[in-house]
Structure 1
C-alpha cells in the first residue's frame, strides 16, 4: 500500500488557519499581518496542482465534471447567494470581501477554469521532463504574474495584461506538481529560501506592493512576493516532513482540519461579516491583536463544525462544502 504523504495535509491545514487569520486581519485593518499572509492564495493553488496533475491515476471526463467541476459551480452559486444576502443585511461591513471585485469566491472561478483545462495539462505533465515542466512554470509566472504586476505598479495596466494572468494561473498550478516531483540541489533550495525570507521581511516592513495592495485572491495568487513565500514554505515543509512519520495524535487533527479546509474557506467570511456587524451594532471595539486571535479561533471552530454537519446531509452535502 502506498504511504500517504504527510506534508500536503500539514500545508493545507496551515493554509486553512492562515486564511482565517488573513480575513480577520483585513477586517481589523491589521496591515503588517495582511502582507505576511498573502502566501495562502498561491499555496492552495499549488496544493491543487500537485495532486490534479499527477498522471499516475486516471481521471475520466465524467468524474472530473461530477466530482470536481460541478462541486465548484454549486459551491460558487450557493455561497455566492449567501454572501450577497449577508453583505446586504450587514451593510457591507467587510467592504467587498463578500461581493465585488475582491470577493473571496473569485478563487473558485480560477479553480473552475484550471480543473476544466487540467486534462490537457495532465497529458503534458505525464510526458514532460523536469526542465520542460520548470519552463512551463517560469514562463507562466513571468508572463502571467510578474508582467501584469509590474504594469499595475506603474499604472499602465490594460485589458490584455489581465488576459495574460491566465498563463500565471497555469504556471502556479503546475508549480505544485513541479515542487512535489523536482529534485532540487542544496544551492537551489537556499536560493528559494533566501528569496522567501527577503519577501517576508519586505512584507513585514510594509515595503512590498507600493500603494496598490489588493485583497482579491485572484490577483494575490500571482503576486511575486506571495508566490516566493509560498514556494519557500512548501519546500521547507516538504523537505522536513517528506520522510517522517508523525504520531496519530498529531496527524489526526491536522488531517481533519485539512479535510474541512474547503468548507471553512467558504463559510468563515460570512460568519466574520455577521460577527463584525454584531460588534459594531453593540459598540464593542477590541484591540486589533485580541480581535484577530479571538475571532480566528471562533471562526475556525464554528465554520469547521458547520462544514462537518453540512457534509452529513445525504447526496447534496458533499457538493456544498
Structure 2
C-alpha cells in the first residue's frame, strides 16, 4: 500500500515579535536569531520526513522567508489579518485535495521519524482530523486533516481541548520531540535534553557561546495598557502588544472576565493581573 504524501504548513511570525517569553533567554544571542533557529530546525525536520512531500511556510518576515526557502520550503504570504489560525487556513488552502498537517514552528528537537509515525497513524483514519497535544497537554503542536476535510485549526491558549471539542481526535503514543514545543527558557532546556537540531545548537545552547538565562517574571504596572494583536473569537483568547513592547498571551478567562463580546485588532485595552503576573481581566481603558 502506497503511503500518502503530506503537505506540512508551518506559520512563522515576524521574528521580532515571535516567542516573546524567550526574549533574553540566551546571553549574547539576539532574540531574532533564536526565534529563527527554532523555525529552521522545525522546518528542516519536516523536510527530512519521508512522508512529507512539501513544506509551506506562511510568513511576512523577509529574513525568515529567505532562510527557510534556502532549506527547501515554499513560501506563502501571511494573510492581511495576521494570526496563527488564519495562517494555517491560508496554507491549507494551497494544499486543497491533499493530506495536510499543521505544525507549529517551535519544535527544535523534532525528529523526522517521530513526525512520520504521527502522520502514518493519522492516515489510518482517512475521514478524521487528528491532533498532537504539547508536553503539558494543554496546547497543540500538530493538527492533521485528510483530503476533503477542512483543517479547522483552533490553535491558541487551551488548543488541545478546543481541538478535541471541534471533533479532532488526539493521536496516542506520540514521540516526545513532537510534543516538546518551546515557549519558555525551561522548555528550551527540556528540548535540549532531547537533542536540539543543528541551527539551535549552533547558537551555543549549553556550550561556550551562549548561556541560558531565566528572565525575571513579568512585572506589569497598575494601569498597563496595550493593543490587541490577535484575537480568536471561537477560543476567546489571543495576544496583546503592551505599551512597553512586550507581547503577552491572554486566556479565555481573562476575556470572559471583561464582560466584552468582541475585541478588534488594534483596539486599546487595559490589563489586570494577579500577584504572579498572570492576566486576570481585560477591559477598555475607560472601564474601571
Q: Name the TM-score, length of structure 1 as normaliser.
A: 0.21
Richer in helix (by share): 1
Decide which structure has greater strand share: 2
